[in-house]
Every structure is written in structure tokens, then in C-alpha cells.
Structure 1
Amino acid sequence: MKIGVGLPNQVREMDPSIIPAWASQAETAGFSSLGTVGRIAYPGLMDTVALAAAAGATSTIGLISNVMLTPVWPAELLAKEVAGIDAVSGNRLTLGIGLGSRPDDYVVDGRGPRGTGKRLDHDLEVYRSVWRGETADGASNPLVPTGTREVPLMFGGMAPASFERVARWGEGYIGPSVPAEMAAQAFDAARSSWKNAGREGSPRLVAIAYYVFSDAEQGRANVRNYYSSADEPVMDIVDSAICTGPDAIRSAVRAYSELGVDEIIFNPALADIDEVARLADIVL
């Protein structure tokens, strides 16, 4: 099982200048991927910006959004933005997609929080069209250079439609930030959807887990603040899955390895660059 580390782009009031150094250190340490967490109405760093900064600061490590709230974007603009990040990185980007559950993240006129699933299905068609070099309505030229690849897609979410999109559009599924025993059912659903659709092989399965070393209390507070719009029981579930220290991190690695996932990405609860080396010392 591969092990990646998240960028601290949605730690509240984080300093964006930490991103290039964080990415470089993660690559040097040997992590498989750098991940981002996506939200708009929050004082963090946009995941597209974080991924672009990480792409420029690294040369080999994978990049993945886990997950980006793509329905908040006009589809053509996001498709061009994502294609550019992927190209700058040398084709290292995987676009992890989710709908989100917070209405305040939908800040663009005409792209509100209703009908997001139907809109996403339309947008997926647009992404593929843009990446293939087809001309958008009203445009005199393709939006991307010749040779742009179709960026690999993965999906998060717990609704049946999420698993159907994995099988129809994606290469795999990204699990929720919950204890491994709770995520197991979602990974099984992704496998079943894949098989029922007649896809060959198996879907790529990526688990995510929050972690913190130096200040567990502050780390928990940061994660709970990020999920503060959720009901208290939901926050408690996410809180219970935060890995605080070496033993909890090793336990998460064992649990997800037993579930047969391909990769686990540990998302930081603190924007402290020393957390990268601390995690590497335990898992690599």
C-alpha cells in the first residue's frame, strides 16, 4: 500500500507560502502523493492553487485532489485549469471529485447548491470534450494545447450515484475521513459498482485520514472547525478518526492495508512543516 501526505491548504488561517516547501519535503521523504482538501467558503488556500504550487516545486510525486468540489466551478474554466496543472506537473495529477455538503461553498451565480449531481454529470462530459481539444460553444479555438491528456478522475461521496460515476467515468474511489471500519462499506460499494459495470481489473482505492503529532488539541480543534457546519455526531465521527501520534498512525496503516486499499493519504491537521518529517519517520 502506498502512503501519501496531504498539503495543509485547508488548515484555518494557514500561511500559503508553506506549500512549495511542504511539497518538496514530502517528495524528498518518499511519499507517493500530495493531496488537497477542497472548500471555497473557508480561510484556506484554493486546491487548484495548492496543486499548481506543488507541481512547480516537485518533479516526481503524484498530485491528487481528495476531493475538489468541482460543481462550484464553470466547467470549461475548471477543465482548462486542471489541464494546465497536469501539464505543468508532467502528467502527475489525478482529479478527485466530490459534491460537498455546504451550501455556502457555491458562490458563483447560476451554480448554486441545488441539482449538483445532475450538473456534475453534464460537467464531466464538458471536461472530456475540452481535454480532447474540441472547441467550446462560442470559442474560436480549442481551450487547451494539442496533446493535452484526459486527466484521470476519481470520485468521493457516499450516495449510490458516486459509485456509479466511479464505474462510468473514473479510475477509482476516494474514501471518507472516518474510521477504517466505517469506510470499508464504501470501498466495497465501489468495487461492486465497478464489477457490475463490467470494468476490467479493480478500481483504484484511496483512503484519507487526518493526522497530528505536535499539538493534538490544536489539531483536533482545526479539524472540528473545518467540519463545524456538520451535525455534532458527524464531527464526532471525523474526530474519532484523527490519528494523534505514532501508534494511531500505524493502526490506520494496518487497518487500511487489511481493507485492500491501494493508497492512504494522511491529511495534516496542523500547518507545521515538521509534521512531514514526523510522519515520514513512522510510515516510510
Structure 2
Amino acid sequence: MNVGLGLPVDDPAALLTWAKRADAGPFSTLGLLDRLVYDNPEPLVTLAALAGATSRIRLQTEVLIAPVHRTALLAKQTATLDRLSGGRFTLGIGVGGRADDFLATGLDVHTRGRRLDEQMSQLRRVWAGDAYGEGAGPIGPAPSRPGGPEVLFGGFAPAAIRRVARWGDGFLGAALPPRFMDRLFRDVEASWKEAGRPGRPRLVAQTNVVLGPDAVVEDARRNLARYYAFTGNAAHFVDGLLTTPGRIREAVTGFTEIGADEVMLYCWAGDPGQIDRLAAALHG
């Protein structure tokens, strides 16, 4: 089973340490969330820096809120990151759910799904080397992977499931335990088959974790509560935080049994000692 790490966002300068230590360990991917009206580091800029500090581990947005990004620039940035990383970049992408992110960009939150569909059509054209549009030629550089970097869609709505089959390579499911994620995975596979896509979609599950002394656990709880405060039910996410090696191994096993190709362990505390603790927990 491939197991990746979701990076904490409270100290951007520490992420180079996280990346180097994870690159030397057993982990498959480094994930980084995207928000605009929040104090997280911008993910594409940050992952470009981490690409230069690593040589093996994959780099992934988890997920990028594409509708608040300008499409032409996003096409160029993601292709550049794919090239800089030697094809190690995965574009996790979604519509977002925070109204303030859209207010800050002057966009209508209610049209974000339609905008994402339009963006995916444009991104695929640009990555294939076609002209951007009337009067605008191709936008380079060409991505490392023909046709563009791997694209995973995140979300829960039926529209997100359909986008996997229409535009994507797979699905990134977050904040649900295996018994509930199973239904989403099956829906993704059914949509993929119905669309006549060959093979199968890549399935990735994300779960929130923390391992360490009480102070580290409390740090993670505070950060998680602050991040999900906008939902009005942050306690639900805090209560779901996995805090012991046994529960983390159980979750990884559960996601594997429902067909996950990779499990992302999302860390909410800044202590990089968690990297070694998580590695030991997985092999315990």
C-alpha cells in the first residue's frame, strides 16, 4: 500500500524539513491543501520549492480550488511544476466550499462547478499543446507527462464523481471512514465504466492523523478545529482525528480493503517528529 503525508500548514518554513525527511522514508506522496482566505502557504509555489528539495516522493495538491485561479496561468504553473519535478506532480482539484475564497477573487461561488468544467476543457487543450483560444497561441512548457499531470478530483457531490470519468485520472476522497468511503469509491468506478473509460480510476483516501506527546496532539486538534470552523461542526472533524498507531493502521487497512490505491495521512501539527512516528506505526 502506498501511504502519503498531508503537510501541516502552520509553519511554511518547516515544510522543507518535512519534505526531506519524508523523501528519505517510506512515504509515497506529499500533499498540500489550498485556500485563499487563510494563512496557509500557496500550494503550487510551495510544492515547486519542495520538488527541488526532494528526488523520489510525489507532490500533490489536496485539493487545489481551481475556480479561484486564472485558467491560463494555472495551466502554465501546473505544467511547469510537472516538468520541474520530473513528472512527480499530481493535481488534486476541486470546486471549494468557502464563500470568502470566492469573494476575495470577485467570483460567484454558485457558478464554481460550471467554471471548473470549463477550466478542465481549457487545461486539457493547453497541456496537449493546442492554442489557448482565438488570437492566443499555445502556452508552454509542455508537461512532463503527455496530456498533462495526473488529475484527481475531490468532492462528495455527484458532479465531482462525473468529473472523474470525464476529465480525470482518479478520485481523492477525504474526511470519511472506510465504511462510508466505500460507497463513493464504487460510484466513481461505476461512472468510469459508464463513460467507457478503459482500465480503472485511481482511488485515493485521506484521513486526519497525529502522533506524539499531548502537546502535539492538542496542537493538531486546535489547527483542525480552526480550519473546519466554517462548517459549524468542527467538533465532528476533531473527534475523527486518529491519534494512536493502532487506529491509524486500522484505517489504512480499511481503506486498502475497499480498493484504495493510496492513503494520505494528513498531519495537522507542525512537529516533524511525526514522520518517524508514523513510519514506525505503519510497520508496527
| TM-score (ref. length: structure 2) | 0.92
The reply on whether 1:177 has 2:166 as its aligned counterpart is no
Give the deviation of 1:78 after TM superposition: 0.8
**Quick one: which of 11, 14, 39 aligns to 1:15?**
11
Q: Which runs of 4+ in 1 moved over 3 A?
A: 107-110, 137-141, 146-149
Aligned to 1:194: 192
- 1:72, 1:112 within 8 Å by CA — same for their partners in 2? no
Aligned length: 278
> For 1:87, which of 77, 83, 92 is the aligned residue?
83
Who is 2:207 aligned against?
209
> Which of 106-115 and 117-126 deviates more?
106-115
C-alpha displacement of 1:127: 0.7
**1:115 is matched with which residue: 92, 111, 114?**
111
Task: Output one character per residue of 1:207-247: Cα deviation in whole Å (capped at 9) or x when no partner.
Answer: 00111112222211211110100032xx3432233111212
Partner of 1:223: 224
Is structure 2 residue 23 aligned with structure 1 residue 27?
yes
Farther off after superposition, 106-115 or 203-212: 106-115
Change (3 A) 1:43 1:108: closer
Q: How does 1:16-165 map to 2 (within 5 A)?
A: 16-107=12-103, 109-137=105-133, 141-146=137-142, 149=146, 150-165=148-163
Quickly say closer, same or farther: Cα 1:93–1:5, change in 2 above 3 A: same
| TM-score where L is the length of structure 1 | 0.92
Q: What's the CA shift string for 1:116-150, capped at 9, x where partnerless?
A: 11100100011112212233347665321356541
One-letter identity of the residue aligned with 1:216: V
Alpha-carbon shift at residue 280 of structure 1 (Å): 1.0
Gaps of 5+ in 2: none
Alpha-carbon distance change, 209 to 187 in structure 1, aligned in 2, over 3 angstroms: same
Whole-Å separation in 2 of the counterparts to 1:172 and 1:147: 19
Cα offsets for 1:179-217 (capped at 9, x unmatched): 222222211111111111122222110000111112222
Offset of residue 56 of structure 1:
1.0
For 2:239 and 2:44, the matched residues in 1 are separated by 29
Separation in 2, partners of 1:125, 1:17:
35
Gaps of 5+ in 1: none
The answer to whether the Cα contact below 8 Å between 1:7 and 1:50 also exists between their aligned partners in 2 is: no
CA distance in 2, matches of 1:133, 1:179: 40
Contact 2:4–2:27 (CA<8 Å) still a contact in 1? yes
- C-alpha distance in 1 between matches for 2:228 and 2:143: 40
Query: Does the 8 A contact of 2:83 with 2:143 survive in 1?
Result: no
Report sequence identity in percent: 38
- The 1:193/1:141 distance shift into structure 2, 3 A limit, reads closer
Give the direction of change, closer, same or farther, for the CA distance of 1:76–1:246 in structure 2 (3 Å limit). Answer: same
